[in-house]
Chains A and B, each alone.
Chain A
Amino acid sequence: MTAKTGSPEYDVIIIGGGITGAGTARDCALRGLKVLLVERMDFTNGATGRNHGLMHSGARYAVTDRESAAECIGENMILRHIARHCVEETDGLFITLPEDDLDYQSTFVEACRNAGINAEIIDPAQARIIEPAVNPLLIGAVRVPDAAIDPFALTTANIIDARRHGAVALTYHEVTGIIVENAKVVGVKLHNNLTGEDSEAYAPVTVNAAGIWGTIIARKAGITINMFPAKGSLLIFNHRVNNMVINRCRKPANGDILVPDKIVSMLGTTSDRVPLEQIDDMRVTPAEVETLLKEGVKLVPSLATTRILRAYAGVRPLVASDDDPAGRSISRGIVCLDHKERDGMDGFITITGGKMMTYRLMAEIATDMVCRKLDKVGACTTAILPLPGSEDERGAKKRGNHHIVSQKAAHERHGSMAREIKESSAHDKTMVCECEHVSVGEMKYVIEKLRVTNLAKMRRRTRMGMGSCQGKLCACRAASMLCQMNGDVNKSLNDLASFMNERWKGMRPVAWGSTLSEAQLTTTIYEGLCGLQMENRV
């Protein structure tokens, strides 16, 4: 990176490789700015990779937070267009059970309509026909335009487009310091978590888009942002039990959303404040599993007998209103802080709060502020320009034409970019991950084009190992491919061990029944048959 003397190499530095950072990098790059994005781990490592994958219609917030609800439905309609390859248009149901107050339904529907959300009361019998998995005891149902969205593909597409427009996006680059000169942030100190190298980068504006970690970043510039980490735990079930998103028609509570996600179903969430010191080490507790299951079976009774694949938790970045430092008044809305106005620190912006769902709007707000600071004029085009993968107008229709499963699956993951996957030889067509239909060709594509260097990245780009077998054989097959490319056996074996260990982390909170049996099978293969250890030095 450029030396301290001379003009900065970048117009803007964005901290954080979640969906907010990726979206902001794309927006800034599209407006002609020279962008550097830095992420301390891999993209989507934080809350972006640890949520429902729910594309809210906004209905969930209609009664309690109309502003959020309106933002959601607006972005919902935009994402259906610009990110269509990441979206599955499932629609959602808000069901009323005998224990719930049916009067709430009319309040709910009215609030939805006021927020511009198309909410239609349907007959419970009709609900059971369109969603056979739903609790048959339901006494009311409302249909809303909820949908499922793939946060991994969405982030990847934003990064790809940012890079296409000249942005530099670096993973495993951790911000260790904020460089301040005369009450102005002028750059960041970076530490490469893979190579151990230290460096610095300079730009007139730095955007803090690090989610909950943003409070730690701000602290490095001497700024206090009152954030309240709220842990949300979720369960993934072995197969897709529901076609539509299913919610409870009542005030938002624990375990009342079930989202179909390609071949599995995700149940969430809980919401508990956790200390900031814990945010890098989220574990799901037995009590949380119990709460989720207890509520989940009320939505869909068959969950009681469906194998739980894994449990995981993310951290929402809830921000206290600035006029209430005690933190009682918490906003779930978008928070964009100009630290010059707020703290007298120029060249520094924090964009936080909000939801994955509203990332584009957050990026737009942050980029508008960046442009104002740089005195640049540039109109936001992200609501109109489709993301890479969704450019093809006929993309959605084309899906049905793929006669082989991995091409169809790859199209769902990469959209029109799937055309770049070479499957000319029989070897390239060979399936590596049977659960998620990932072929050798697709793996070669993500290794070469999407800079995949380890199994965790492979999983986030292709969903390999996320299906019902949780990487039992495909992880080993993919490790062999990566080893062939990098030629480093120790690295590949340790990568394989840490990948399987990461899978175990999600299985452990639910390690009984068939999940425990599967875990025993996995270690029998990797430790017993193959002799793998956590640390392998050959």
Chain B
Amino acid sequence: MKYDVIVIGGGLSAIMCGIALATNGKQVALMVKGQSKLNFNSGSIDLLGFDEQGNEVERPLDAVETLSAKHPYSKMGAANVAHNAAMAPVILSAAGLHFGDDTYINSNHYRMTPLGLLRPTWLSLDDYVTSNSRTSLPWSKVALVNLQGFLDFPAHFVGEAFTRMGVECYMCDIKLGAIEKITNNQQVIRSTAVAKLMQNDGVLGEMVRKIRSEVGDAEVAVLPAVFGLDGDDTALRIAHQLKVPVRFVPTLPPSVTGTMLLSKLRKLFIRNGGTFLLGSMVKNGKIKDNRVISVEAKNFPDQDIVADQFVLATGSFMNGGLVSSNQGITEPIFNLDIDFKGASGEWTKEKLFDAQPYMEFGVATDAEFHAIKDGQPLENLYAIGSILSGHNSLKLADDTGVAVMTALQVARQIGV
């Protein structure tokens, strides 16, 4: 089988690129190794939360113009960022993911984090706790659900945040037999395990009954985001049964929300004719005359997988897209050129929350995101998402934004 495009990677960037290409009628295959950064997803997409001076950004599409030349947004230009930013909600919505109305794309708002802190973001799923202000929320009384034994939702921090913002917050401590059965066995119960339990009607029903008896006159019930693991409609059913609106706050990883996003995006990709090559760890690629001819995967030994175009979306260090040793930094599949500086001692700064130099390291590309090898751009290999150099995604709060913007940009370039 020969594909028009092979996308290496399975995270947000890879799948958005795959969907955009498949929608354009390309034969696309995603070669997916394992887990992606969506495990840490918050239910939001951060386009640009802070500028390079560290100031909070209110209008991200305007602020894009202030970024330095090495930033991926600067490479594609502000007009393209705006174009892709308008396209992103359309694709997400086609996947059944609703991130507010069209007016949202011009301004940032705040999302509530698992620690009850506020972080600027661009698009948030409709039923997540967000606010336009640092000091207020659109409710006066909420019921916050704490599932006893599930420690990865620090409800105490979240409850304090509501109180701080002038919202009366009533904590519903819910004990569920199904969770107790696990914690009693001295196991940690993680968000995904709770989400699996919630797929059982009996467990869900018990939880809803218990919340209903405690919810009182709260305007909304706030729950940890542990529902809809496979993209199912549990969240809607809870709201329906509770008879009060429901809002979610993300948990510590793994993110059920991220799994849900991925599951819905995968379905759209397949619906549009895309192919998944799951569990395929790409080992290396053949390059000739500045073009990638084929790649070889670990589970398809001695088999050349051929395509016209290749997109590399394998992520940063934590995803294995970049590999470091005390000698240097490499890109393990094509041995691409890497933008990085200094010896290993200079990659980091003293404090954990300092701007760490290594966060800006990544694959070198030209303005069209062609990956560069031995100083030459490869004509048919593009790099997208967190493998790109030139920005600190934690300090700028632009991680998912860069993933989506570069994915759509490269898809358009390939498409024409």
Contact = CB atoms under 8 A, between A and B. Distances in A.
A524 B113 contact: no
B253 interface: yes
Interface in A487-538: 489, 492-493, 496-497, 500-501, 503-505, 508, 511-513, 516-534, 536, 538
A520 B358 contact: yes
A525 B37 CA distance: 10
A426 interface: yes
A476 B252 contact: yes
Contacts of A508: 348, 350
Contact of A426 (B114, B180, B393): B180
Given A473-B252, A500-B352, A528 B324 contact: no
B116 A517 contact: no
Interface stretch (B145-153, B193-201, B291-299, B408-416): B145-153
B252 A517 contact: no
Chain B contact patch, size range = 35 or more
A484 B159 CA distance: 11
B189 to A, nearest CB: 7
Contacts of B115: 476, 493, 496, 530-532
A483 interface: yes
Contacts of A516: 317, 324, 347-348, 358
Given A430-B151, A473-B252, A501-B351, A483 B117 contact: no
A530 B353 contact: no
Contacts of A527: 353, 394
Contacts of A483: 154, 156-157, 160
Contacts of A538: 116-117, 160-161, 164
B42 to A, nearest CB: 6
Interface in A466-487: 473, 476-477, 479-480, 483-484
B236 interface: no
Given A476-B252, A530-B117, A512 B353 contact: no
A508 B356 CA distance: 11
Nearest to B186: A404
B157 A480 contact: yes
Interface in B86-128: 113-119
Nearest to B112: A531
Contact of B393 (A405, A429, A440, A528): A528
A511 to B, nearest CB: 5
Interface string B179-219: 11101111111000000000000000000000000000000
Given A480-B156, A497-B353, A524 B116 contact: no
Contacts of B320: 517
A523 B394 contact: yes
B385 to A, nearest CB: 14
Contacts of B53: none
B316 interface: yes
Q: Is the interface of B mostly helix, strand, loop or mixed?
A: loop
Contacts of A431: 183, 186-188
A528 B42 CA distance: 9
A416 interface: no
A511 B157 contact: no
A404 B184 CA distance: 10
Contacts, number: 166
Interface string B4-47: 00000000000000000000000000000000010011100000
B341 to A, nearest CB: 14
A484 B156 contact: yes
Contact of A534 (B345, B347, B351): B351
Interface string B379-397: 0000000000000011001
Given A480-B151, A520-B358, A525 B40 contact: yes
A286 to B, nearest CB: 5
B55 interface: no
A501 to B, nearest CB: 4
A520 B114 contact: no
B66 interface: no
* B161, B325, B353 pick with most chain A CB within 10 angstroms: B353
B60 interface: no
B356 to A, nearest CB: 7
B399 interface: yes
B228 interface: no
A489 B157 contact: yes
Nearest to A404: B186
A517 B321 CA distance: 10
Contacts of A512: 324-326, 344, 347
B40 A286 contact: no
Given A286-B345, A430-B189, A524-B318, A501 B352 contact: yes
Contacts of B359: 520
Nearest to B356: A523
Chain A contact patch, size range = 35 or more
Interface string B289-308: 00000000000000000000
A520 B183 contact: no
A384 B294 CA distance: 73
B250 interface: yes
B117 A473 contact: no
Nearest to B400: A528
Given A497-B353, A528-B393, A426 B324 contact: no
Given A511-B344, A530-B117, A536-B117, A430 B316 contact: no
Nearest to B160: A489
A131 interface: no
Contacts of B348: 508, 511, 516, 519
A406 interface: yes
B317 A517 contact: yes
Nearest to B326: A512
Interface in A327-365: none
A19 to B, nearest CB: 29
Contacts of B252: 473, 476-477, 525, 529-530
Contacts of B353: 497, 501, 523, 527, 532-534
Contacts of B393: 528
A397 interface: no
Nearest to A529: B40
Nearest to B329: A512
B37 A473 contact: no
Contacts of A480: 151, 154-157
Contacts of A429: 183-186
B116 A489 contact: yes
Interface in A400-449: 404-406, 426-427, 429-432, 434, 437, 439-440
B280 to A, nearest CB: 21
Contacts of A500: 352
A429 B180 CA distance: 9
Contacts of A501: 351-353
Contacts of B344: 286, 511-512
Contacts of A505: 350
Nearest to A423: B186
A529 B113 contact: yes
A524 B352 CA distance: 11
Contacts of B42: 529
* A512, A518, A519, A525 pick with most chain B CB within 10 angstroms: A512
A286 B344 CA distance: 9
10 contacts: A286-B326, A405-B186, A426-B181, A426-B184, A429-B183, A511-B347, A519-B352, A528-B397, A529-B253, A531-B117
Interface of A: 286, 404-406, 426-427, 429-432, 434, 437, 439-440, 473, 476-477, 479-480, 483-484, 489, 492-493, 496-497, 500-501, 503-505, 508, 511-513, 516-534, 536, 538
Given A426-B180, A528-B40, A529-B40, 19 more contacts: A286-B326, A286-B344, A286-B345, A404-B186, A427-B180, A476-B252, A480-B155, A513-B324, A516-B317, A517-B320, A519-B356, A523-B352, A524-B37, A524-B318, A528-B397, A529-B253, A530-B113, A531-B115, A532-B115
8 nearest interchain CB pairs? A480-B154, A504-B352, A426-B180, A531-B117, A531-B119, A430-B183, A477-B151, A531-B113
